Structure 1
Amino acid sequence: MRRFLDFLYDASAWLAALSMVGVLVMVLLSIAGRQLQFNLAGTDAYAGYAMAAAGFLALAHTLKRNEHIRVTLVLGRLTGRARHALELWALTAAVLLAGLFAFYAVRLAWVSWSIHDISTSNDATPLWIPQLTMAIGTLVLLVAFIDEWFLELRGNRRVVESEEALHHE
């Protein structure tokens, strides 16, 4: 199971990286179009879709690498059971919030698909397509938070606190 979950987080990160390449390609096409006097309709919208995809698809991988911003002012002073309890409380809240986020992201994509909603931009893209990346990203984030919750519950969770973070608090 661990290998599958790690593969899921890594695959999501690779898709996020490909989305960033997509942003680059769209921006370069837009620049080239202006310089060479041709217009590729929708490049700005597609760059935006790819940027949103990159952000959402990278969420779980960033969480699992402990690179999300954490406020450890109180947590850093606790040890033992008190720290474990606070971590579980925070992860429980995170699971609930990520669950709501994923539910509404999936619902948004579903509604857009069911009513055939399209972009108001000149690209006229069916909106469920870019919204699907948001739904997938939030679902993988929910899985990652549940994974972290179970690791913390069992006492197997490792949170590496960098020295740099400690210097800035």
Structure 2
Amino acid sequence: MRAFLDKLYDAAGYAAAFFMVGTLLMVVAGIADRMFGLGWRGTDMYAGYSMAATGFLALAHTLKRGEHIRVSLLLHAVSGKARRALEIWSLLAGCVLSGAFAFYASRLAWQSWDFHDISTGNDATPLWIPQIPMAVGALVLFIALLDDLVLEIRGKRVVTESTESVHSE
């Protein structure tokens, strides 16, 4: 199961990188369109869709690498059982919030498909298409937080903190 979950988080990270390149390509295509009047419609919208997909799909991968911002001032002030209780509470809250977001993001994509909802921009893209990466990213984040919660409860969670030091200059 561990190997599958790690591959899932990596796959989401690779998908985020793919959409990041898509953002770049759409921005470059938009610039070329303005410069040469190529008539390509919707490049700004597609750049935005790709940017949103990048952000959501990278969430779980970033969490598992210890790169999310953690407000650890209180955690560093306590130790032992109190620290573990705070970790479990925060992971449980994260599971509830990300689970609700994954549910409603999936529901939104389904409703957009069901109602044939399209973008109001000049590209007229069916909205369920760019909403799917958002729902998938939220679902993978929920799985990652649930994974961390189970590991924390079992006493096997290793908190990976960023190697980047904080600079206050």
TM-score between both structures, scaled by the size of structure 1: 0.95
1:71 is aligned to 71
* Counterparts of residues 37-56 of structure 1 (less than 5 Å): 37-56=37-56
2:35 is aligned to 35
Instruction: Tell me the CA shift for residue 57 of structure 1.
Output: 0.3
2:18 is aligned to 18
The separation in 2 between residues aligned to 1:28 and 1:11, in whole angstroms, is: 26
RMSD of the TM alignment (CA)?
1.4
Q: Is the 8 A contact 2:65 2:160 kept in 1?
A: no
Instruction: Tell me the CA shift for residue 161 of structure 1.
Output: 3.6
1:115 is aligned to 115
Amino acid at match of 1:115: F
Could you tell which deviates more after superposition, 29-38 or 50-59? 29-38
Q: Is the 8 A contact 2:67 2:161 kept in 1?
A: no
- Post-superposition CA distance 1:43-83 (Å, at most 9, x none): 01000000000000000001111111110001012221111
Work out the number of aligned pairs and report it. 168
Q: Is the 8 A contact 1:30 1:39 kept in 2?
A: no
Could you tell which deviates more after superposition, 1-10 or 27-36? 27-36
* Counterparts of residues 132-151 of structure 1 (less than 5 Å): 132-151=132-151
Instruction: Tell me the CA shift for residue 164 of structure 1.
Output: 4.9
Q: Is the 8 A contact 2:99 2:142 kept in 1?
A: yes
TM-score between both structures, scaled by the size of structure 2: 0.95
1:155 is aligned to 155
Q: Is the 8 A contact 2:64 2:160 kept in 1?
A: no
Q: Is the 8 A contact 2:67 2:162 kept in 1?
A: no
- Go from structure 1 to structure 2 and tell me whether the alpha carbon gap of 1:162 and 1:45 turns closer, same or farther (over 3 Å shift): closer
Q: Is the 8 A contact 1:16 1:53 kept in 2?
A: yes
Query: How high is the sequence identity, in percent, across the aligned residues?
Result: 61
Q: Is the 8 A contact 1:109 1:127 kept in 2?
A: yes
Structure 1: unaligned runs, 5 residues or longer: none
Structure 2: unaligned runs, 5 residues or longer: none
Amino acid at match of 1:98: S
- Post-superposition CA distance 1:31-50 (Å, at most 9, x none): 11222222210101000000
The separation in 2 between residues aligned to 1:73 and 1:58, in whole angstroms, is: 25
The separation in 2 between residues aligned to 1:63 and 1:52, in whole angstroms, is: 17
- Post-superposition CA distance 1:80-115 (Å, at most 9, x none): 111111100110111000111111100100110100
